[in-house]
Structure 1
Amino acid sequence: MKRSAWRYLWSAHDIRRKLLITLLILAIYRLASHVPVPGANKEVMAQILSAGGATGNLINILDLLSGGTVSRFSVLAMGVYPYITAQIILQLLTPIIPSLQRKMEEDPREGQKWQEKWTYYLAVPMAALQAIGQVNIFNSSATRIGLSPVIQNFGFQYFLPSLTIIISMTAGTMFGIWLGELISEYGLRNQGLSLIIFAGIVARIPATIQGIIADATTRWIGLIFMVVLSLITIFAIVVVQQGRRNVPVMYPGRRVGARMSMPVKGTLPLMVNMAGMIPIIFAQSLLTFPSIIASFFTTAKNATIANFATSIVNLFGGTGNVYWIMYFLMVVF
């Protein structure tokens, strides 16, 4: 009788240990996601999310990708995205700066270690800048709809409280990155950060199911639609991710002594999705950046500046057709 693959996964000691370590670290990450930023007002945050609008929709998208940490204003509200941003920046700078490209070409292994080290270093200031941006976005969004700021006493005039908030959010991000590295080292190999992001996204599934069940009129239709859509999505992702294109190649014959071997036909398998998730993350980062910057000026005293900033927020807020067309084009090209 053929043994079940799932039973083999659990009976193999090494695989079972890796799975348990991975689940334990993910549980620690989810527990840490409930630790709030010092001084955060969750009630105001909930009102911003329910208010809608371009900024509210943008924050809802961030909350969806972070697994609800934004709505709780957790120390892990930024997730591990500053690290990914730092990684993308270094990857873009490598072919532009000759010395970096030379370092990677001369010794790829040492160059990879150097790149990983500086990615960690760059992730710290990126996390600090993103923390400042998030707090300012939330405070300006609250002020725009007539609420008190999400975090009081934040700004240059309140140096110590602001520094405490920035350090706590930066430390939360680095803690999440460290947990991801632990998963890659002791759990599922080289999948740490991906699992951290995945855990944050799927953490919203129970709340989504609860919301569907709460509506008695469309309960079963919503559940069936969700299950079918999830299965189709998973199937499509697996097909694309595992897809290979076999390119025919011809290997020349070799001379062995006085004899010449015949040419050999073969195939070169190329992945359909060689870029992985990088284009999606990169496109989202670029499209979100103008909205983040513009949100600082939506409450400016100058009406022209405030109106222009509001139009930028509306354009890149994730609700209009222009945003999704640009998103699609940036991912594809």
Structure 2
Amino acid sequence: MNKFITSIKNIFAIEDLRTRILNTLFFIAIYRLGVYVVLPGVDPTRLKTGAQGLFGILDTLLGGAFSHASIFALGIMPYISASIVLQLLTIAVPYFQKLQKEGESGRKKINQYTRILTIPIVLAQSVGFIATINAEAIINPGTFFTVSTMIIITAGTLFCMWLGEKITDKGIGNGISMIIMIGIVSRLPGAIIGEAAAKGVNKSLIFLLEMVVLFLVVMAVIVLTQAVRRIAVQYAKQVGGTTQLDAQRQFIPLKVNAAGVMPIIFAQSLMFVPAIVASVWQNQSDTASYIGVKFSDYTSWQYNLTFGLLIIIFTYFYTAISVNPNQIADDLKRSGGFVPGVKPGRDTSEFIDEILTRVTLPGAVALALIAIFPAIALLLGVTRPFSAFYGGTSLIIMVGVVLDTVNQVQSYLLMQHYDGMMKSGKLRGRTAQPISIAS
């Protein structure tokens, strides 16, 4: 406890770090206030009490902005959609592949294209959002309400983008990820209180057991997020002029879960397709009716088995587009590095690809288990709001953002010659001299 208090004092003793933390809190406060500003022309007392299905997941990521019909109703999610589209274009379109290889200037152009693409996406999604608002809540429905709401929601999303960029530039951590995490965390206190009230005094031991299981699940997600398979790399002795550099030994860190949360997002978006398709023929076929019922219930074994298999497939897919063994092998060869016992070039690429394939399997299976664990928790008697924090997109995003933020704070402390927040001075799974993996 004394070490923790000392670390907090050291954090606020560094002027730049203190300013960045205060700036981050200020921008987050602005975002949270905007979540409760209802769209003009909407009666908040007549809104639906809660969102279900895909809208419920979206509402959780947005911290309630969707169900409140807020000016930030879509938040930063259209920007995330645009980012995913641009990532896929860097694989299929040579122009974007070229931009990705141009370094900082190429990344700036891709970011600019992402911002531009966000506008048509949010305009299209705002039409869908207006359709979800129950008619009784709209005071004066019509063309004017639709057009004005589309403009306001688009402006709200662009403002959220601006807040995210400001947090990245003037604050601490990744701004876009921070905004999503704050929306998720804002639901946690209410979920815990609701769970405690549901269990009551008679089942207080069960509630305590649930908290212990939640802690263990969080620890498992941290291990999955931080776990890496290190491939040793040797650099030959280099001589330049009068300077001689001794041989160095570093490593390539291949993450067990290189795909992050993206496989769950992709799989979740596809899991609504069977129920939608089955609803068209549900009155004409018993099989369609059966599929519609089972895939509308995310606690059914049919739903979770399909969901888990899709996550495993998408984990391999996203890892393949994120980590390029050929490029890693080429970079090593150009810089004079080699994997001991493996020939440079093609053999190195095949060696890295084989290891990547092996370590991705346990990562994919673990990710699938974490994704379906909220459904298991719900079946075991945990309330729906609290069960969402037992895994899935919400928990992985929270853990990832917190770890990245802690790592940034750690770097500031070590640069100022303070003791880090961890006893080892660095987070597990990280090193002072990693070799970056180009995507």
List runs of 5+ in structure 2 lacking aligned partners: 314-439
Distance 1:217 1:174, change over 3 A: same
Size of the aligned set, in residue pairs, is: 306
In 2, the alpha carbon distance for the partners of 1:80 and 1:310 equals 36
Give, as a single letter, the amino acid of the residue that structure 2 aligns with 1:111.
G
After TM superposition, list the pairs within 5 Å mapping 1:95-110 onto structure 2: 95-105=91-101, 107-110=102-105
Q: Match for residue 34 of structure 1?
A: 36
Q: CA deviation at 1:316?
A: 5.7
Distance 1:221 1:196, change over 3 A: farther
Q: Match for residue 114 of structure 1?
A: 109
CA offsets 1:86-107 (integer angstroms, 9 cap, x no match):
00001101221122222333x2
Q: CA deviation at 1:272?
A: 2.6
Give, as a single letter, the amino acid of the residue that structure 2 aligns with 1:228.
V
Q: Match for residue 93 of structure 1?
A: 89
2:265 paired residue among 281, 302, 306: 281
SS at match of 2:47: helix
Q: Match for residue 123 of structure 2?
A: 128
List runs of 5+ in structure 1 lacking aligned partners: 50-55, 140-147
Indicate if the aligned counterparts of 2:50 and 2:56 stay in contact, CA closer than 8 A.
Answer: no
Q: CA deviation at 1:218?
A: 5.3
Q: Match for residue 332 of structure 1?
A: 312
Q: Match for residue 189 of structure 2?
A: 206
SS at match of 1:4: helix
SS at match of 1:245: strand
In 2, the alpha carbon distance for the partners of 1:200 and 1:76 equals 11
After TM superposition, list the pairs within 5 Å mapping 1:1-333 onto structure 2: 4-47=6-49, 49=51, 56-105=52-101, 107-139=102-134, 148-151=135-138, 154=141, 158-189=142-173, 191-215=174-198, 216-217=200-201, 220-221=204-205, 223-251=207-235, 267-287=251-271, 290=273, 315=295, 318=298, 320-333=300-313
Q: CA deviation at 1:44?
A: 4.3
In 2, the alpha carbon distance for the partners of 1:68 and 1:136 equals 18
CA offsets 1:89-136 (integer angstroms, 9 cap, x no match):
01101221122222333x222211110001011111111111111222
Q: CA deviation at 1:150?
A: 4.2
CA offsets 1:157-176 (integer angstroms, 9 cap, x no match):
x3221001111111111111
CA RMSD across the alignment = 3.7
Give, as a single letter, the amino acid of the residue that structure 2 aligns with 1:74.
S
Q: Match for residue 145 of structure 1?
A: none
SS at match of 1:247: strand
Indicate if the aligned counterparts of 1:212 and 1:218 stay in contact, CA closer than 8 A.
Answer: no
Identity of aligned residues (%): 32
Distance 1:194 1:150, change over 3 A: same
Distance 1:193 1:253, change over 3 A: same
- Tell me whether 202-211 or 23-32 shows the greater mean CA deviation: 202-211
